[in-house]
Amino acid sequence: MKAGIKEIPFGSVNGKAVKLFTITTPSGMEVSVMNLGATLTRIITPDKEGMQGNILMGFADAEYYRTYKHCYFGSIVGRYANRIANASFVHNGKEYLLEKNEGANCLHGGFAGFHQAFWAIEKNAGGDALVAKYRSADGEAGFPGNLDITVTYTLSDENGLEIDYHAITDQSTPVNLTSHGYFNLSAGKSANVLDHELQINAAQYTVLDEQQVPTGELNLVEGTVFDFTQRKPIGKNIIDLPKGYDLNYVLDINNDIAAQVYHPGSGRAMTVKTTEPGLQFYTANFPFPLHQESSKAPELFSSFCLEAQHFPNSPNEPSFPSTMLNPGEVYQQHTAYLFSIK
């Protein structure tokens, strides 16, 4: 038996109707996506007792996503995920000026970004996956070229969520897309994720300046608080980082697993696989509102993000893997979040 998909109204934003699409597998896993931002709103998986729970931070109405748009809850982020220094880059001798929405920098595509766009969402031909499409117009947030993006959400047989990205352009433009989901594997039972055990298969990270922009240097994680090459609780060293984790890891190219997370209390485990060279680890570093299943007050480190991506500020760092997409080329990314019980 294949997955089923249902569609329901999910409020409105700026007078436009928001729709929520839910994929359900025969095993009971559910994933919901709304057309505002092609946003993941719920991921339902069982714990070790067989109790289903939502492990994704989100809200019961679309208007909350507008209110907290600066958090990018569960949304597709672009045209360029993460930061571009001084909100500008030079390509083929021409300087492009982008929107400055974080101090002097451009963050996650500017003031509006893909997370606030209305995407066209439909079922795939087989009726077991959701296909979201959006055209980012030439000049949007300062980026050149018309960019046509397709994001496909599929629930795999191995109890996982697979996200496939596809994009083409009519002008050379930097492209860096990601899904900005906030996870708490306790499904709202724990107010923070400090007891979640994390492993990231990365021996290096991109060094940041005071504005959270890479300097171009790569440092070894060994001997630092950023070392997750062996599984450890997220909270083990966080006392040395009062602002929490917000860092791009350089993934080991010889390992098909980017990261693994385990929550001892629920028994839930999550594995991240991706074709991308980087992974941003973020720990919700201010008191975020919790999702609708939680009765606990917001607090620091309520959730974590593992955002598959290219490196921040790559358009201004020639030594980093290129993010430039040219006419006739195809941007492709495959990222999977696989869930299990231990």
Q: Known catalytic residues?
A: 180, 307
Q: List Cα–Cα distances, 182 to 55, 64, 138, 253, in angstroms.
A: 8, 15, 30, 25
Structural contact between residues 309 and 82, judged by C-beta atoms closer than 8 angstroms? yes
Partnered with residue 179 across adjacent β-strands are 76
Alpha-carbon span 304 to 338, nearest angstrom? 16
Strands 214-220 and 204-208: antiparallel
The set of residues, in sequence order, having a beta carbon less than 8 Å from that of 239 and lying 6+ positions away, is: none
Strand 246-250's sheet: what is its strand order? Answer: 214-220, 204-208, 246-250, 278-282, 305-309
Q: Is 203 helix (H, G, I), strand (E, B) or coil?
A: coil
- Rounded to 10 degrees, what is the CA torsion of 82, 87, 90, 94? 140
Query: Quick one: tokens of 99?
Result: 């929107």
* Residue type, position 258, single letter: A
Which residues lie across from 15 on neighbouring strands? none
Q: Coil, strand, or helix at residue 76?
A: strand
Report d(CA 287, CA 298) in Å as an integer. Answer: 5
Q: Are 313 and 83 in contact (CB under 8 A)?
A: yes
Cα separation, 106 vs 104, in Å, equals 7
Phi, psi of 49 (to 5 degrees): -95, 0
